[in-house]
Every structure is written in C-alpha cells, then in structure tokens.
Structure 1
Amino acid sequence: MLSISAFAGIAALVGDPARANMLAALMDGRALTATELAGAAGITPQTASGHLAQLTEAGLLAVQRQGRHRYHRLASPGVATMLESIMAVAAASDGAGAVRRRPSPVVGPRDRALRRVRTCYDHLAGQLAVAMADRMVERGQLELSADGGAVTEAGAAFLRGLGVDLAPAPRRGGGRMFCRPCLDWSERRPHIAGTLGAALCGACFAQGWLRRIDGTRAVAVTPVGEMALRQAFAWSALGEDR
C-alpha cells in the first residue's frame, strides 16, 4: 500500500532545484560523476554528495563503480518515467512552454579520435562501440543487464557473419565472464566487454576494418571498415563527431 509519507518524501526530493537539475542531467541515460552532476546543478561537489546520498537512499539513483570512479545513473526506467511525467506537467504550466534546465555536462575526452573509437583494454570503446551494443540490443541480438550479458541465437548468427569467432570466446582468460556491459568513459553508456568484446575487437582488426594509431588508444576506422561497419550496424553517424 502506498505510504503518503513516502509519496511526500519522494516529491520533496525531486522538488529541490539542485536535485531536480541533477536528475534532469541523467535523463539522457548516461551515468555521471558527483563532480559532473554538481556542475549541472550549479553547486559545490561537497553539497552534491549530500544530495546524491539522499537520492540513492530513496532508490531514485543507482551508483556504479568503475575503477577509481563512482558514477550515478537513474535507478530504473520507472524513475525516468516519473521524471518525464513531472516535466510534461511542468512544461504545460510553464509560460515559456518548456522546462528550463542547465546544459548537459560535457563528459569524457575532448579529443575527437578518442571519443569516436578507442580500445578499452582488449575491447572497443567510444561512439562506435556503444553504437554496436545499441544496435544489437535493439535487434534482439544481445541482452545486457547490470550483472552481465548474453548473446541470442540471432546475435550469434550475426556475429559469425561478421567473422567473429565465438567458439573459443568462453574459454579465453580462464574464468573470465563471456559477455558483460562496460560503462563507456566518454559516452557513459555501455559497450560490450568480456571475452565476447575481445573477440569482436579482434575480428575488426583482423579484417582490416580498424587500425591502431601509434602512441594513443584511439583507433582509426579504415575505408573498408567504414563501409562494413555502416552496413552491419546501420550507424549513419559513424564518420561524424557529436
């Protein structure tokens, strides 16, 4: 049964301008650090930490650790739906006809090549890698969750068609997870990691679709790779920067 006090508590949390700005900044699906969210809210990182603790305790945010960083994201699609509904009501009652909010924070590397595609250990990261994961999820070829991932039969057929060797992938690296999401540093959305991510990355290099750039983790997409990856993943923005 709905508790009126809990209902009022959630409303009060969302109703604070600083917290509202932080929640709005997370509506694009990215995960952001406390410092980035502080910038979005126009407050100090110390103040932001207190707000984020409250939002996390209330179940509105989830915290993900990646290396030495802590990233915050909306805890569930239900939270996003609630915020969208509030925004719609606010927009309808706003004289300007729109919800006014601070600009979304710029995250990740400013270098165009690193943002486009780079290596993340033995798998791919950046705009291309996130697009690969997105397309496979949209097509029902890949399932990703916070705990791991799985390739469907359709996904396995698709990857084999790209020259990805799936047979040895579960055995590489000993007990390493076959497929898992890895939060992308620049996109703040998941790309494919695990032995599957390594196999996909290896196939792209082996077929000459990608080539390494000396002295950097950035990776160049070759002309033949541009054509192949556009066709395989239907990414019309492959050669564009955001």
Structure 2
Amino acid sequence: MNRWDADQESLAETPDLAALAALLADRTRAAICMALLDGGTWTAGELAEYASVAPSTTTEHLNLLVSGGLLAEERRGRRRYVRLAGPDTAETLENLAGLAPYRPVPIRSLAEANQRRALHHARTCYDHIAGALGVALAEAMTERGLLARDYGLVLTAAGAQWLTALGIPDTGPSAAHRAHVRTCFDWTVRRQHLSGAVGAALYRHAVDRAWIVKSPTTRILGVTAAGRTAFRDCLGLPDEALFPSFTPAAPRG
C-alpha cells in the first residue's frame, strides 16, 4: 500500500458519535456510568442492586459498555468486576452531564435530601474533587495565579512551587501519559472544576492528609476540621465553600 492509499484509508474513518450516544441513551447504562464515577471497581451484582434491575439485565448492559470502550472489566474467580476505562472516560462523562438537561428526581425523605445536597457540594469525579468544593478550589487557584487561562487552564510557575511546598510530587505531563491540567464542566455548579494529573494529585494529597474523607457507599466527600483549616490557609476558601464533615455509612457488601 502506497502513502496515498494509506491516507485515503485513514480518511475513510470518522468518529462514530452516534454509537457513543446510543450507549448512554439508556438510563440504566447512564446510571451505571455515573455510579462508576466514584473511581472504584464494582461487581455486576452491586451495580444491579444500585440500578434496581435484574442481574441478567445488568450483564447485558455491562457487555455493551465494555465492548463500546466505556468500561474495563476483570474476572476474579466467578465474580466480574468493572470500572470506567480511564480518567478520560470519566472527564467525558462529567462534561456530558454538565450539558445534559436536568431530570426531576423525587426526594422521599430528609436523609435523601441531605445526601443530594452533600453530593452537589463535594464528591469524587473519578480521581479528583468535583462539586462546589472542586469548583471553589479551581477558582481560588486561578485567582491566586497558581493556574492561568491559556486555551484552557495551565499550571503556572507559582503553581508548581505551591504544589512542591505542599509536598505534592511532580505531576508533569509525562507522568502516566496524562494531561497535566484539565477541567471538567461540573454538572451541579455549571462551572469548571480541576481535573487532569494536577487535580488527581490534589485529591490524593487531601485524602492522605485527612483533609477530606470519602463515603464508602457514595461519591460524597466530607471536609474534616483539619481540611477546613488547610483549605483556608492554603487557598483562602470561604466558609461557604467548606462542607461540614459527615459520618460515613457502612461499606458495600
């Protein structure tokens, strides 16, 4: 095959957005993907219970999502475990959620209302912080010159020094072949929160320092007393950006 033929062959392919849209057009599959934005690995049975559908139906949906490239799977004995295919998939889902219209969800109890409020305020988006807290962090870093807008967000020299001072290791673009700084359009706040390698490093640092704690059953994050102090000292976050700590529920299974 000569170069012209090779070029013509590559031109004969185009991204099939309709196929991707079809994968997410089913509400059960969409719910499964949103659940997996917690960055964890779930069994098929756990997802069936979460989505309130039969295990056989869940298996059919998972087969489509895996073959479509949105999920990755592994087998451990007789159990099947699935997770999102990677951070790019998570960021795509969060961005799509930000573009999607809201669908009313009935709130049946005060506990559900509180959980919904907490989810909107601070949660994981795969491996970084989302919700009002995530947006506040991104905006505070930009206001302080740690991030700059240049065809998207970039980490400034001052930002790199700030990360080093916090004890966060190098998150350069070469690390894990991942974008250094990216943003997701937050579906609850409708503004950008920080993702990419820097966003993931900040999340890990906050967890390691016990500034935030994650519910083992949901994507909800709680800010600890130490975290409130740290976020005020490091970035000057106002009190309204800091959600009170919570008592996590028992783990799944």
Length-normalised TM-score, structure 1: 0.52
Q: CA deviation at 1:159?
A: 2.1
Q: CA deviation at 1:113?
A: 1.2
Name 2:28's counterpart in structure 1: none
Closer/same/farther in 2, CA of residues 162 and 66 from structure 1, 3 Å limit: same
1:112 matched to 2:117? The reply is yes
* Amino acid paired to 1:119: T
Q: Deviations over 1:161-215 (max 9, x none)?
A: 22322x14433332x2111111112111111111111111111111111111110
Contact 1:131 1:233 in 2 (8 A): no
Q: CA deviation at 1:127?
A: 1.0
Name 1:173's counterpart in structure 2: 176
Name 1:71's counterpart in structure 2: 99
- Corresponding residue SS for 1:173: helix
Name 2:156's counterpart in structure 1: 152
Q: Deviations over 1:45-89 (max 9, x none)?
A: xxxxxxxxxxxxxxxxxxxx95355739xxxxxxxxxxxxxxxxx
Name 1:49's counterpart in structure 2: none
Q: Name which of 158, 162, 174 aligns with 2:166.
A: 162
Closer/same/farther in 2, CA of residues 133 and 168 from structure 1, 3 Å limit: closer
Name 2:63's counterpart in structure 1: none
Q: Name which of 241, 245, 253 aligns with 1:238.
A: 241
* Amino acid paired to 2:241: L
Q: CA deviation at 1:138?
A: 1.2
Q: CA deviation at 1:153?
A: 1.1
Name 1:186's counterpart in structure 2: 188
Distance 1:210 1:70 in 2: 24
Contact 1:144 1:181 in 2 (8 A): no
Closer/same/farther in 2, CA of residues 156 and 123 from structure 1, 3 Å limit: same
Q: CA RMSD in A?
A: 3.0
Q: Name which of 135, 146, 151 aligns with 1:141.
A: 146
Name 2:135's counterpart in structure 1: 130
Identity fraction in percent: 35
Contact 1:107 1:187 in 2 (8 A): no
Q: CA deviation at 1:222?
A: 1.1
- Corresponding residue SS for 1:164: coil
Contact 2:182 2:195 in 1 (8 A): yes
Contact 1:66 1:183 in 2 (8 A): no
* Amino acid paired to 2:232: R
Distance 2:241 2:171 in 1: 29
Distance 1:225 1:70 in 2: 27
1:196 matched to 2:178? The reply is no
Structure 1: 5+ residue stretches without partners? 1-64, 73-104
Distance 2:171 2:205 in 1: 13
Distance 2:229 2:97 in 1: 36
Q: CA deviation at 1:107?
A: 10
Closer/same/farther in 2, CA of residues 209 and 106 from structure 1, 3 Å limit: farther
More helix per residue: 2
Distance 2:132 2:215 in 1: 17
Q: Deviations over 1:31-56 (max 9, x none)?
A: xxxxxxxxxxxxxxxxxxxxxxxxxx
Contact 2:122 2:243 in 1 (8 A): no
Structure 2: 5+ residue stretches without partners? 1-90, 106-111, 245-253
